[in-house]
Chain A
Amino acid sequence: MSTELQKPKTTAGGGQKLPGRESADRKEATQGRWAYTLLAPSLVLLAIVIIYPVINAIVMSFQKDSGLDATTGFFSEGGPAGFDNYIHWLVQQCTAPGGGSVACPPGTLGAQFWDSMGTTFFFTLVTVAFETVLGFWMAIIMARAFRGRSLIRAAVLVPWAIPTAVTAKLWFFIFAFEGIANKLFGTQILWTGSEWPAKWAIIIADVWKTTPFMALLILAGLQLIPDEVYEAARVDGASTWQRFRLITLPLVRPALMVAILFRVLDALRMYDLPAIMTQGANGTTTLSILVVQQIRQGFNTAAALSTITFLVIFLVAFIFVRFLGANAVDAATSSGKAK
């Protein structure tokens, strides 16, 4: 579907046969030049704010962090490191006091790499799963016509409108030992003081905050489905479940995949919620938290870690776009033209 819709766009200019072949060529050339001129500012901007930092981070990741010179007591430049910084993270090896390397002892950042990788993916899978199901449900409710619909739509947006740091502080107080959560349920759970409660506290906070985002994107997809399709199905005697499974799901799929893609990428770099609610304690250290903590101990090792994080997210995004058909651009153009 998307390819057909794209075709006229990519062949525009060449497709139109004008009386004089030359003028058409010239027009195409001028248009091309114009296009580049108009694109240039945004390309330059992208180069400055995205490409330069990424390349700089990659260059830095191949440098050693500055080390303490025992004789002067001052730090001195580390020099080239090769792949040492990457190896440090991937196999969790730290420099031994006498030279050589040992397994990073507990209490170092290096010892936490694979744990935090696992934590990050765990959070991503669980939160996005919850958000998709709940978001779908909310979207279906919001798509109906009923009194007070705009009120519901506005109300649903509130959690998304609150800055994440504020949300985190909010839930921090809710999950405090003397907080509302324990008072309400009459429990004595150390929400931020033990492993699984801490993880669930963060999942609950994240789901609360980002489900509205999911719901809105899905709602946008739902509203593109023409009513006639449902009417026809009803005339043919399709049940509610059949209508949902055979019409709603396939037609909303492009929008749904884009929403999931955005949420997955977002969740993979989760930082604020665990940083504020638990400071990464009790198995809630995500990759981003690890990067920020490492920045204070040495930029170059941190650059290696953020490059690894970048590659991981790149891979996930690639898999989504390539194999699961989540295509942000195609979906946008097709939804623009579907009407």
Chain B
Amino acid sequence: MKSKKLLLPAAIAGVLAMSLTACGGGGGGGGSASSGGGLSGDAANNLDGRGPITYVQGKDNSNVVRPLIDKWNAAHPNEKVTFKEQSDQADQQHDDLVQNFQAKNPNYDVMSVDVVWTAEFAAKGWLQPLKDKTSIPTDGMLDATIKSATYNGTLYAAPQSSDGGILYYRSDLVPTPPKTWDEMMSMCSIAKAHNIGCYAGQFQKYEGLTVNAAEAINSAGGKIVDDSGKAAVNTDQAKAGLNNLVQAYKDGNIPTEAITYQEEQGRQAFEDGKLLFLRNWPYVYNLAKTDGSSTVKDTFKMAPLPGKSGPGASSLGGHNVAMSVYSKNKATVSDFLKFITSEETQRFYATQGSLAPVLTKLYDDQALVAKLPYLPVLKTSIQNAVPRPVTPFYPAVTKAVQDNAYAALKGEKSVDTAISDMQKAIESAGAK
């Protein structure tokens, strides 16, 4: 009886604690085994396989995927594509892909992959290198989009859609847009005279801050990682770049509340007429033109991001389409990748889904420009774009950039310390 009395509380405590934390421990094993330089292991199998395949992508909000797949299926009755739709949360899409790759699921044949995941998946050996039998034509594609799909000199995915930052400005207050950062800062007196904020981007501590900090650093001639993926941020140029943001925040040229801004809050402030300049993605254009609450419908225009002495280096958004090494029908998948990157499909993406094409020539297409007036500006933006760090340790790298850039913005540490901490944190991510 006595021992029972002692055991009971412990048992209850144990079961309670377990049931409360068990969900934290899930997940599968580690990464998959490595394969050598040439095609080996799963990457060498089923190269000529043909048959039905499954295409995996996050929620299809603008109904682009189904019409495309219907079109493909009509032309390929024996190699039909099934659409597996994931959630609309990027993190969940990422985790779903990782789980299916780890399970070597042959039914995840071809998938849409965020540009920043491509290197990670490639390094895990999950993506089929697009060379030899599975190669795709890449001529006519924007350079930055190809770079985002390339890991260790090999193309691992087909660029699907792109995205770049744009500077929105109040054309009624600023007749000619600033070409450089310094020029923009000198125009902030106009904002002060009208009692509005001068410049804002995305400065809350999340992925958007990585995008904005990377743009500041790249525009000033710095870089976050070098071509081999090693930390290379501890340079004077990178410090100067981050310092531009930090100084602007300190001076009030970036309004205090901008540190809580994601894309939407910035757009809201701009549409309310409270900002002179806004760095945001192309999607803002349509909303700012048509929103009932927008006060700047006819008084804003777009320009490339300002840089050091010319257009700035935008961070690259968008998606790539990748082929799983575990697919049984790689020849079909290869054809499907060509179909996705074809001019016709790219045009459809742009008209139906407002997705920025990866083919350079579509940016000058008169019919498309009439529909999406931001295309010429976006072309400059993407032509000068730098992919966010292409590294298999992206989650750790983006954390290192966010945490330290945020601390510098808030004045918790100096720019020098922030950049040197950033360097050390990125190095430590790769050292495991």
Contact = CB atoms under 8 A, between A and B. Distances in A.
Interface string B3-35: 011001110111111111111111111111111
B123 to A, nearest CB: 5
Interface in A68-103: 68-69, 72-78, 94-97, 99, 102
A74 B425 contact: no
Interface in A117-133: none
> Which one of B26, B28, B260, B410 has the greatest number of beta carbons of chain A within 10 Å?
B260
A75 B422 contact: no
A201 to B, nearest CB: 11
A107 B422 contact: yes
Contacts of A255: none
Contacts of A303: 25, 27
B396 A69 contact: no
A295 B429 contact: no
Interface string B340-380: 00000000000000000000000000000000000000000
A66 interface: yes
A134 interface: no
Interface string B82-123: 000000000100110000000000000000000000000001
Contacts of A321: 9-10, 12-13
Interface in B178-236: 204-206
A301 B15 CA distance: 24
A243 interface: no
Contact of A193 (B5, B8, B259, B422): B259
B34 A328 contact: no
B432 to A, nearest CB: 5
B338 interface: no
Contact of A108 (B13, B26, B407, B429): B429
A94 B27 contact: no
A96 B431 contact: yes
B123 A74 contact: yes
A95 B428 contact: yes
B30 A177 contact: no
A306 B124 contact: no
Contacts of A96: 428, 431
A68 B430 contact: yes
Interface in B326-344: none
B260 A313 contact: no
Interface in A262-310: 265-266, 268-269, 278-282, 288, 291, 293, 295-300, 302-303, 306-307, 309-310
Given A95-B432, A97-B428, A109-B399, A72 B22 contact: no
Interface in B416-432: 421-422, 424-425, 427-432
Contacts of B402: 107
Contact of B265 (A102, A176, A279): A176
Contact of B257 (A193, A261, A291, A314): A193
B229 to A, nearest CB: 9
Contacts of A328: 12, 16
Contact of A73 (B123, B205, B421): B123
A174 interface: no
A37 interface: no
Given A279-B204, A299-B30, A288 B13 contact: no
A105 B407 CA distance: 13
B404 A107 contact: yes
B256 interface: yes
A311 B430 CA distance: 29
A293 to B, nearest CB: 7
Nearest to B206: A279
A298 B430 CA distance: 12
A314 B14 CA distance: 6
A303 B26 CA distance: 8
Interface residues of B, number: 74
A302 to B, nearest CB: 7
Contacts of B35: 72, 74
Given A177-B260, A318-B10, A327-B9, A78 B30 contact: yes
A63 B432 CA distance: 12
A203 B391 CA distance: 37
A90 B10 CA distance: 25
A18 to B, nearest CB: 23
Given A193-B257, A297-B396, A329 B21 contact: no
A176 B257 CA distance: 9
Contact of B21 (A68, A77, A95, A310): A310
A210 interface: no
A245 to B, nearest CB: 27
Contacts of A288: 24
Contacts of A54: 18, 21-22, 25
Contact of A77 (B31, B204, B395, B425): B31
Given A65-B432, A95-B432, A313-B21, A108 B268 contact: no
A67 interface: yes
Nearest to B205: A281
A104 interface: yes
Given A66-B31, A72-B35, A329-B12, A104 B428 contact: yes
A296 B269 CA distance: 33
B403 interface: yes
Interface of A: 3, 10, 49-51, 53-54, 56-58, 60, 63-69, 72-78, 94-97, 99, 102, 104-110, 176-178, 188, 190-194, 261, 265-266, 268-269, 278-282, 288, 291, 293, 295-300, 302-303, 306-307, 309-310, 313-314, 316-318, 320-322, 327-329
Across the A-B interface, give the 9 residue pairs with the lowest CB-CB distance, nearest first.
Answer: A57-B25, A66-B31, A107-B425, A306-B24, A105-B424, A75-B31, A281-B205, A317-B13, A321-B9
Given A190-B257, A313-B21, 13 more contacts: A50-B22, A66-B124, A68-B432, A72-B37, A75-B30, A75-B32, A75-B123, A106-B403, A106-B404, A106-B407, A107-B400, A107-B422, A318-B13
29 contacts: A53-B26, A54-B21, A72-B37, A73-B123, A74-B35, A94-B431, A96-B431, A107-B402, A107-B421, A107-B424, A108-B399, A177-B260, A177-B265, A265-B17, A279-B205, A281-B204, A282-B205, A297-B395, A299-B28, A302-B24, A310-B18, A310-B22, A313-B20, A314-B13, A314-B18, A316-B17, A321-B9, A321-B10, A329-B12
